[in-house]
Amino acid sequence: MRRFHGLFTLTALALTLLVPIHPAQARDGGGGGGPVFTVKYQGAAINGVVPQAECKVDESQALSGGSTIMTITVKNVNLPDGTVLNTILDFDPIGSLVVKGGAGSVVINLGRFAPGGRDTLDIDLGTTFLMGGFL
């Protein structure tokens, strides 16, 4: 009986390990299985104010054929209203945002591209003032 009980326990454990976890249960996101993550950046002071940026990358639909959506938000940008900031991903311009009240944001559809690892995000107005990676 003891041998049967041990065999039953091992079989149940093996079956438990083989049952897939539905992607929506495994992580946050829209059910497509890809991650949603946020990276924060801080630049050198501009006229005494340290600019900050947040980049949210939503890959939740990428694994099911959807697009990656990147939302870039800046704040504490001590530049005049109307200043245009360029957003550059791995040396390729991907969009721009306009400063108003020291802040701004842009939503960019990256299609099937999923940034990460050694990719870099650069926010500039001719010269870089915020730059960072996704590691």
Tell me if 49 is assigned to some domain.
yes
Four-CA torsion 52, 92, 84, 80, nearest 10 degrees: 40
pTM of the prediction? Answer: 0.72
Percent of the chain scoring above 70 in pLDDT: 75
Q: Which is it for strands 84-89 and 120-124: parallel, antiparallel or unpaired?
A: antiparallel
Tell me if 12 is assigned to some domain.
no
Q: Which domain holds residue 35?
A: 24-133
Tell me if 95 is assigned to some domain.
yes
Greatest C-alpha distance within the chain: 81
Q: Please report the pLDDT score of residue 31 as a whole number.
A: 56
Structurally, the chain folds into a number of domains equal to 1
Q: How far apart are CA 94 and CA 131, in angstroms?
A: 14
Is a pLDDT exceeding 80 seen at residue 37?
Answer: yes
Q: Please report the pLDDT score of residue 32 as a whole number.
A: 62
Cβ contact 65:116 at 8 Å: no
Tell me if 74 is assigned to some domain.
yes
Q: Please report the pLDDT score of residue 112 as a whole number.
A: 84
Q: Please report the pLDDT score of residue 23 as a whole number.
A: 30
Tens digits of residue pLDDT in 51-79:
999 999 999 988 788 899 999 999 999 99
CATH number, domain containing residue 49: 2.60.40
Tell me if 11 is assigned to some domain.
no
Looking at 19-23, 45-49, 93-97, which range is the least confident one?
19-23
Q: How far apart are CA 23 and CA 60, in angstroms?
A: 10
Tell me if 15 is assigned to some domain.
no
